[in-house]
Structure 1
């Protein structure tokens, strides 16, 4: 078993440019980062990358109308087998409801029999996103930076969904989400989070330590254990990069 003091920092949702250099990645230290992409061009660009510290995702960012408009179902399905992680996807108020729903629904359909984790954005469209997730269930769903009301949170918990949280979110959210359903994120480079880099979850871990009444290392261990559960349940443990899967299995 990997002990907590040996575990690297974990970041389940951050934005990293597809052309990031090895020198730039070295600045992340030992952090394990799930790197979302914004559109299928970016996803295509990372299919041949094998970065030790990163889990690249295939995304269609719902807050970017151009990404939603350019969505190609056939291209998404052709790229999907290259990925164990899907993100960033979902729905957003900045994109027309009908087109956003159609794209998200198709992505969920494409992922229905795939062993993947799915990082879902829901800003301004929480109810619509939950409707789609209820209609097309997938055990690998992680609600990223969830801002729904208490009734939405209750509904999401009934569906056994996971949540990735960051240092910009209030303690009341950390208190409301069961500890075994919570994962860490930075959403770097979001300014409100003030993360210095992807994987910089120190502030978040400090706050969770206070809210949970546990030591920092115990918090980190709990977060990795949560990742292990969703990775095993979804089957993504079999398709994640080997070095990341090895950490998860040993936790």
Structure 2
């Protein structure tokens, strides 16, 4: 297929944005939530957004999000979407790390029984994230904005993790060459990860990421985009989440298989 829309596996989108504006992005965007409260608002609009997949998240860098985490509430929300994001660890504030670890372990335990495409934050804690995934292995892990070293990256690959890559990742990663092409997914992490990326700075604009990674792997951009869609299709298959995707997104995945 030569008319596949772009894929953005991690962006932050205001839940008040109109469905028309999202459709005009001409991209399939996985919209990460920062808290269960935001997740509630996001999932209310899921049926009306044709190309946007709204996620359920508990951002590790947000105190209120961590304090308001409720395992039962989280479990109920993930029944309504194929996507969990974002969760993880953030070492910027050491005083919250204990709570972050507790929440992450709880979330991963639930995802063992209900696999989802799971976008994982790892700022300053890449080795600790891999440790968690070894203790509580899940299907569908996607390491978002991954800056782990070569040893941690190799361990994550062995665990079956995928990697969502933005413009900042390409500039800063020391281990991107280790990631197999069938584990790569593009992202913007709008509005933070694409500040130095291609204009316009908006969710779904992954042209610079696709170009750089296609060149790295000796492909043209059309073939590289097809590869990323096939990677997504593989993740959807192993997590058995196709039924939870917007019908138009599920139809594209069916077409690339």
* TM-score, scaled to structure 2: 0.91
Is 1:194 equivalent to 2:206 in the alignment?
Answer: no
Structure 2 counterpart of 1:8: 5
Paired with 1:13 and 1:158, the residues of 2 have a C-alpha distance of: 23
- Decide which of 39, 42, 53 is 1:43's aligned counterpart: 39
Change (3 A) 1:244 1:174: same
Give the deviation of 1:133 after TM superposition: 1.0
Structure 2 counterpart of 1:27: 24
Contact preservation (8 Å) 1:36, 1:58: yes
Structure 1 counterpart of 2:242: 237
* TM-score, scaled to structure 1: 0.93
| Residues 44-59 of structure 1 mapped to structure 2, 5 A cutoff | 44-49=40-45, 50=47, 51-59=49-57
| Residues 196-211 of structure 1 mapped to structure 2, 5 A cutoff | 196-211=201-216
Find the residue that maps to 1:91 and give its secondary structure: strand
Give the deviation of 1:193 after TM superposition: 4.2
Paired with 1:207 and 1:174, the residues of 2 have a C-alpha distance of: 12
Paired with 2:164 and 2:223, the residues of 1 have a C-alpha distance of: 18
Contact preservation (8 Å) 1:64, 1:94: no
Paired with 2:238 and 2:155, the residues of 1 have a C-alpha distance of: 20
Which runs of no fewer than 5 residues in structure 1 stay unpaired?
Answer: none
Deviates more, 1:188-197 or 1:209-218: 188-197
| Residues 115-126 of structure 1 mapped to structure 2, 5 A cutoff | 115-126=115-126
Give the deviation of 1:237 after TM superposition: 2.0
Paired with 2:215 and 2:61, the residues of 1 have a C-alpha distance of: 33
Give the deviation of 1:192 after TM superposition: 3.8
| Residues 174-193 of structure 1 mapped to structure 2, 5 A cutoff | 174-190=176-192, 192-193=195-196
Structure 2 counterpart of 1:66: 64
Find the residue that maps to 2:8 and give its secondary structure: strand
Give me the CA root mean square deviation. Answer: 1.5
Give the deviation of 1:194 after TM superposition: 3.1
Give the deviation of 1:53 after TM superposition: 1.3
Find the residue that maps to 2:10 and give its secondary structure: strand
In the comparison of the two structures, how many residue pairs are matched?
A: 247
Give the deviation of 1:23 after TM superposition: 3.8
Paired with 1:158 and 1:120, the residues of 2 have a C-alpha distance of: 17
Give the deviation of 1:20 after TM superposition: 1.3
